[in-house]
Structure 1
Amino acid sequence: MSPMKSSSGLDENIAGMLCYLFTFVGGIVFLAVEKRSRFVLFHALQSVTVFGIIMVGHVLCAFLPLFGPLLASLLSLLGVVIWLLMVVTSLQGKWLKLPWVGDFAEKQMRHL
C-alpha cells in the first residue's frame, strides 16, 4: 500500500521528513503549502516549534558568559539528536510526539 499524497503532491512520509530535514524553514514551507494532510501539518508544526525553541535557546546562551558556550554545545547536540530521530521516524510514517512540543502541535492543529 502506498502512502497518502499531501497537497504538495509528495507522499506524506516524504513531506513529513522534509519538514525536519530543512528544520525551521522546512516546517514553515509546509505550513504554508499543505492543506489536507494532518500528518504533514503535525510534523510541520512540531518542526517549527522545536527548532524555534532551539534557536531561541542558542540566542539566550550568548548572554551567559561562563556557561553559555557549554550550554550552547549541549543544545546543539540535543538538536542534532532530535533532528535525526524525527527525520527517520517521519520517513517511516510514524507520528512521534516530542514531549510538550507534540502536545502543543496537536492543540494548534485544531485551529487550522
Structure 2
Amino acid sequence: MSPFKSSTGMPENLAGTLCYLFPMVGGILFLALEKRSRYVLFHALQSLLAFGILALAHLLSGAVPLIGLLATALLGLVSVLLWLMMMIHAAQGRWYKLPWIGYFAEKQITRM
C-alpha cells in the first residue's frame, strides 16, 4: 500500500487502480474528485483517454464488413490485457505511461 493519500482519503495506488477498474467512469469520477494527487489524476486521465480510444475503435471496427469481426475480437483481447496490465501497474504504485496517451496525460496533468 502507498503511504501517500489522495484527497479522497484513499491510498494513491488504490485510487489509481480504481481509475482502471471501472473504465471511463473511474477516470471521470477521479478527475472530478481528486484535488491534489498528480499520481491519481495521471491515471484517471490516462484511463479515460485509453478506454475512450478503444471504445471508439470498437465502434468503428464494427462498421467494417468481414475484417471488422476480426478487428473487434482482437480489440476485445487487447482491451482486456491492457485493463489488467494497467490495474497491476497502478496497484504497485508505478507511473507506467502508455505510448502517446501516457505522455499526453502527463503533459496535461503538469498544466493543472
- 1:90 is aligned to 90
Give TM-score scaled by structure 1 length.
0.96
The Cα shift of 1:2 comes to 4.8
Question: C-alpha separation between the residues in 2 aligned to 1:104 and 1:15?
Answer: 20
- 1:60 is aligned to 60
Once the two structures are aligned, what percentage of the paired residues are identical?
58
Structure 1 counterpart of 2:68, one-letter code: G
Structure 2 counterpart of 1:32, one-letter code: A
The Cα shift of 1:110 comes to 2.4
The Cα shift of 1:111 comes to 2.7
In structure 1, runs of 5+ residues without a counterpart are: none
Alignment size in residue pairs: 112
The Cα shift of 1:62 comes to 1.5
- 1:108 is aligned to 108
Question: C-alpha separation between the residues in 2 aligned to 1:56 and 1:2?
Answer: 33
The Cα shift of 1:63 comes to 1.1
Decide whether aligned partners of structure 1 residues 70 and 16 sit closer, same or farther in structure 2, where only a CA change above 3 A counts. same
Post-superposition, which runs of at least 4 consecutive aligned residues in structure 1 deviate over 6 A? none
In structure 2, runs of 5+ residues without a counterpart are: none
What is the correspondence of 1:29-48 to structure 2 with a 5 Å cutoff? 29-48=29-48
